[in-house]
Chain A
Amino acid sequence: MHKHRTNTSSSPPPHQHVEQHKHIGVGSLTHDIRRSKVVLVGNPNVGKSLFFNHLSGLYVDVSNYPGTTVEISEGHFGTCDIYDTPGVYGISSFSDEENVTREIVLQSDIVLNVVDAVHLERDLFLTLQLVDMGKKVAVLLNFMDEVEKQGLDIDIKLLSTYLGVPVFPTVAVSKTGFDSILAAIEQARRGEQDKDLHPKLHTMLAVSGSEAEALLILEGDEVIAQRHGVPPGTEREDIYIERRNRVNLIINAILSERNVRTRLSTLIGRWSVNAWTGVPILFGALYLVYLFIGTFIAQDLVEFLETRLGNELWEPWIRGLIGKYVSPESWIGIIFVGEFGLATMTVTYLLFLLFPLVVAFYFSLAIMEDSGYLPRLATLVDRSLNAIGLNGSAVIPLILGFGCVTMATITTRILGTKREKQITATILQFAVPCSAQLAVITAMLVGAGFRAMLIFGLTIFIVFVAIGTILHRILPGKTSPLLIDLPPMRMPRLDNVMKKTLYRAYFFMKEATPWFFVGALAVGLLQVTGLLTVWQNVLEPFTVKWLQLPREASVSFVMGMVRRDFGAAGLYDLALTTDQIIVALVTITLFVPCIASLMVLVKERGTKEASLIWIGTWVTAFLVGGILSQILI
């Protein structure tokens, strides 16, 4: 026993020896030594970002289902730099999110720990770990309104005594208790560390330089251990269980349940993971999304915007304007206001087709996310995805892929193993059409009738399953098990959903727009230099003989290499029979990923894998499209 512990047996024991051993060698986030670094830490879906938004005044991505806020956000509040972190259940190196959170916590001065008061048992594990790390902590106890509704009683004063750090009750959605955040920052202090852990920390301190890192090494954190050149500790399990027991002890003392009644939201949550009711709920949800995106946005709104505003107002106006200075027949004229003009078609597609669709898609996704439905969906489809070597979590990148394949490819990071990342990324690049492409496809399929829809859907589905199954067979290793926490079902907050939607749509447009212009420019240049005809001639045997499409369809394949939806859009104006529509759409759907997607793929999966996938999509698209063509036409 350390001698300085002898006089601290009564609670709460302030650690007078703190000053001797803190703050050695951390701080790549350092901007200014006078400013303190305050970091918001909490489990997923505890409302962290609402606090962050309030403090920083900036908007960032709100709730986070794993993967949506891997990037951290920084803001300023008074003399503090505020950092938001991805939601984690503990500090360690199990995932990218944890790595990010761990680094920021290690470099912070003050930790504001946001805790879901309804799920104290789960959340206090992280709180105690932060306390054990020797960080200055203040707890923001969120969802106090739900505590009331669920018939729970929390003794906040006692909780604060046990933890040794101040605790502030809040309701983030209504900003109740937000006036105490400043007090929380000021009053944050070191809490009540595990008595047995403390001496061990001191032994490790000589190596690690900070208590926080000492603890992580003891807990077997390989990254931190390696950083200090020591073997990782072997006591993780003991420390974790001991910490768990402390949580239980605290819970028993501070929490009491009054009348417990099951609420409707809880019931809906249960029903959506039930064998009998889950599937109807899934189809109901998908149907609503289809009604909203497929019918209302894609048909009514886009029709109006694209035809009335785009084709009839904007395009004649800009053509007239540019026509005053350059002849529409000159090569500059063709590039700017021609068939694939930068100022005509590109602008119309971007603003009047892509933008409303992307907004609608992100809106639907945000609702599913904020309501807590997404993880339940993952649970429901877990077993089906096992068949293609994935677990339920992969449903998130796969669904996101229907929004934007590029974004979805980045999200494959949340998956547990390299194998799952490979399978998911490959399926995304091959067989998942993104929202913009899907919009054009839907519009064309609606015109082509039910049979066309059925054949198209079935073909893509078969390719989807085939690719997954083949990869599952040939890749070494096995599927990692599903293990996720199901957050409570909550009514999504419209303002949050809107903010998140617009934020994401904005970033997507920012990312996509340049590539759109690059694509249009490339096609325009090919057109004026006559290379387009050369390309058409090269592809002609494939396009005309094998796929039995008009030779102009090969233009779509040029554009498809730049942006997938661009490729599909190129087919839109061709005069095609119903069967030709099916063949053309199948081919363009399976065709190569867009440039942005390819860039991300190279980054995430390496050049070799990316080029294999890229070439593979060429082969698959023409093979499947051709076979279909030979059968149908």
Chain B
Amino acid sequence: MSDIKSDAISRIIRKWLANMTKNETLPLHKVARGSLVRIVRIPDGNSKAQLIRLGVHVGVLVRCLERLPGGTLVIEKNRQEIALGMNLASTILVSPVRHD
């Protein structure tokens, strides 16, 4: 009995968590200037390999330093500044991190 109950609860919690993260992810180009985000998804391709080399991959925290009109983005990861075109930034999914 209690097993079923806890099962149901955990299912609800999991669903809720999934919903939370689902709502919380957004494409990188929509991130506000100055905010800290965690990389959730990078599409496959040469850009991905290049990003990994520069230290940007799933799970990594980056800060959005600048957003230029038109969507070109400058992100920072440990004193390292990287510029991304809008068409690449829009394919990268991130989730905001509440900090401090």
- Show the binding face of A for B, using Cβ within 8 Å: 89-90, 92, 94, 118-119, 121-122, 125-126, 150, 236-237, 240-241, 244, 247, 269-270, 273-275, 278, 375-376, 378-380, 382-384, 386, 391-392, 478-479, 481-486
B72 near A: Cβ within 8 Å?
A: yes
A93 to B79 Cα, complex, angstroms: 27
B59 → A minimal CB distance (Å) = 9
B contact patch SS: mixed
Whether the Cβ atoms of A273 and B54 lie closer than 8 Å is no
Whether the Cβ atoms of B49 and A236 lie closer than 8 Å is yes
B10 near A: Cβ within 8 Å?
A: no
Determine the residue in chain B with the shortest Cβ distance to A481.
B88
A483 to B83 Cα, complex, angstroms: 6
Whether the Cβ atoms of B83 and A94 lie closer than 8 Å is no
Q: A269-B81, A380-B72, A383-B72 are in contact. List 6 more A-B contacts (CB 8 A).
A: A89-B53, A119-B79, A273-B65, A383-B71, A392-B72, A486-B83
B83 → A minimal CB distance (Å) = 4
The residue that B87 contacts in the complex, of A122, A278, A479, A484, with Cβ under 8 A, is A479
Whether the Cβ atoms of A89 and B74 lie closer than 8 Å is no
B82 → A minimal CB distance (Å) = 6
A601 to B74 Cα, complex, angstroms: 34
Whether the Cβ atoms of A379 and B49 lie closer than 8 Å is no
Which one of B49, B51, B57 has the greatest number of beta carbons of chain A within 10 Å? B49
Whether the Cβ atoms of B82 and A383 lie closer than 8 Å is no
Hey, which chain B residues are within 8 Å of A478, CB to CB? 87
Whether the Cβ atoms of B52 and A275 lie closer than 8 Å is no
A133 → B minimal CB distance (Å) = 15
Whether the Cβ atoms of B55 and A392 lie closer than 8 Å is no
Within 8 A of A (CB), among B63-94: 65-72, 74, 77-89
Q: List 21 A-B contacts (CB under 8 A).
A: A94-B50, A244-B55, A270-B65, A274-B68, A275-B67, A375-B83, A379-B83, A380-B72, A382-B85, A382-B86, A383-B69, A383-B70, A386-B86, A386-B87, A392-B72, A479-B87, A481-B47, A481-B85, A482-B83, A483-B51, A485-B54
Determine the residue in chain B with the shortest Cβ distance to A381.
B72
A150 to B80 Cα, complex, angstroms: 13
B19 near A: Cβ within 8 Å?
A: no
Whether the Cβ atoms of A484 and B82 lie closer than 8 Å is yes
Whether the Cβ atoms of A384 and B53 lie closer than 8 Å is no
A210 → B minimal CB distance (Å) = 22
Count of residues in B whose CB is under 8 Å from the partner chain = 33
A94 to B50 Cα, complex, angstroms: 9
- Show the binding face of B for A, using Cβ within 8 Å: 46-55, 57, 65-72, 74, 77-89
B41 → A minimal CB distance (Å) = 13
Determine the residue in chain A with the shortest Cβ distance to B69.
A275
Whether the Cβ atoms of B88 and A275 lie closer than 8 Å is no
With A273-B68, A275-B66 as given contacts, are A118 and B47 in contact (CB-CB < 8 Å)?
no
Determine the residue in chain B with the shortest Cβ distance to A376.
B83
Whether the Cβ atoms of A483 and B47 lie closer than 8 Å is yes
Whether the Cβ atoms of A273 and B74 lie closer than 8 Å is yes
A275 to B69 Cα, complex, angstroms: 6
B87 → A minimal CB distance (Å) = 5
Hey, which chain A residues are within 8 Å of B85, CB to CB? 382, 386, 391-392, 479, 481-483
Determine the residue in chain B with the shortest Cβ distance to A120.
B78
Whether the Cβ atoms of B55 and A247 lie closer than 8 Å is yes
A406 → B minimal CB distance (Å) = 28
Whether the Cβ atoms of B54 and A380 lie closer than 8 Å is no
Whether the Cβ atoms of B87 and A481 lie closer than 8 Å is yes
Whether the Cβ atoms of B80 and A121 lie closer than 8 Å is yes
Whether the Cβ atoms of A237 and B54 lie closer than 8 Å is no
Whether the Cβ atoms of B49 and A244 lie closer than 8 Å is no
A253 → B minimal CB distance (Å) = 15
Determine the residue in chain B with the shortest Cβ distance to A260.
B79
Whether the Cβ atoms of A94 and B55 lie closer than 8 Å is no
Whether the Cβ atoms of B54 and A89 lie closer than 8 Å is yes
Whether the Cβ atoms of B79 and A240 lie closer than 8 Å is no
A272 to B54 Cα, complex, angstroms: 22
B40 → A minimal CB distance (Å) = 15
Whether the Cβ atoms of A483 and B65 lie closer than 8 Å is no
Whether the Cβ atoms of B66 and A483 lie closer than 8 Å is no
A416 → B minimal CB distance (Å) = 8
A97 to B85 Cα, complex, angstroms: 21
With A125-B53, A383-B71 as given contacts, are A485 and B88 in contact (CB-CB < 8 Å)?
no
With A244-B57, A482-B85, A483-B82 as given contacts, are A380 and B49 in contact (CB-CB < 8 Å)?
no
Whether the Cβ atoms of A240 and B53 lie closer than 8 Å is yes
Whether the Cβ atoms of B68 and A122 lie closer than 8 Å is no
Hey, which chain A residues are within 8 Å of B89, CB to CB? 481
With A383-B70, A383-B71, A483-B84 as given contacts, are A121 and B78 in contact (CB-CB < 8 Å)?
yes
A486 to B83 Cα, complex, angstroms: 7
Hey, which chain B residues are within 8 Å of A247, CB to CB? 55
Hey, which chain A residues are within 8 Å of B51, CB to CB? 483
A46 → B minimal CB distance (Å) = 13
The residue that A240 contacts in the complex, of B49, B74, B87, with Cβ under 8 A, is B49
B34 → A minimal CB distance (Å) = 11
Determine the residue in chain A with the shortest Cβ distance to B52.
A240
A482 to B75 Cα, complex, angstroms: 13
Hey, which chain B residues are within 8 Å of A386, CB to CB? 70, 85-87
A274 to B69 Cα, complex, angstroms: 9
A392 to B83 Cα, complex, angstroms: 10
B84 → A minimal CB distance (Å) = 6
Whether the Cβ atoms of B68 and A118 lie closer than 8 Å is no
Whether the Cβ atoms of B54 and A122 lie closer than 8 Å is yes
Determine the residue in chain A with the shortest Cβ distance to B81.
A486
A67 → B minimal CB distance (Å) = 16
Whether the Cβ atoms of B88 and A483 lie closer than 8 Å is yes
A378 to B83 Cα, complex, angstroms: 9
Whether the Cβ atoms of A237 and B48 lie closer than 8 Å is yes
Whether the Cβ atoms of B46 and A94 lie closer than 8 Å is yes
With A273-B74, A274-B66 as given contacts, are A481 and B54 in contact (CB-CB < 8 Å)?
no
Hey, which chain B residues are within 8 Å of A122, CB to CB? 54-55, 80
A8 to B87 Cα, complex, angstroms: 48
Hey, which chain A residues are within 8 Å of B70, CB to CB? 382-384, 386
Whether the Cβ atoms of A482 and B71 lie closer than 8 Å is no
A118 to B80 Cα, complex, angstroms: 9
Hey, which chain A residues are within 8 Å of B53, CB to CB? 89-90, 125-126, 240
User: 5 smallest A-B Cβ distances: which pairs?
Assistant: A383-B70, A481-B88, A482-B85, A481-B85, A379-B83
Hey, which chain A residues are within 8 Å of B82, CB to CB? 483-486
B31 → A minimal CB distance (Å) = 15
Hey, which chain B residues are within 8 Å of A126, CB to CB? 53
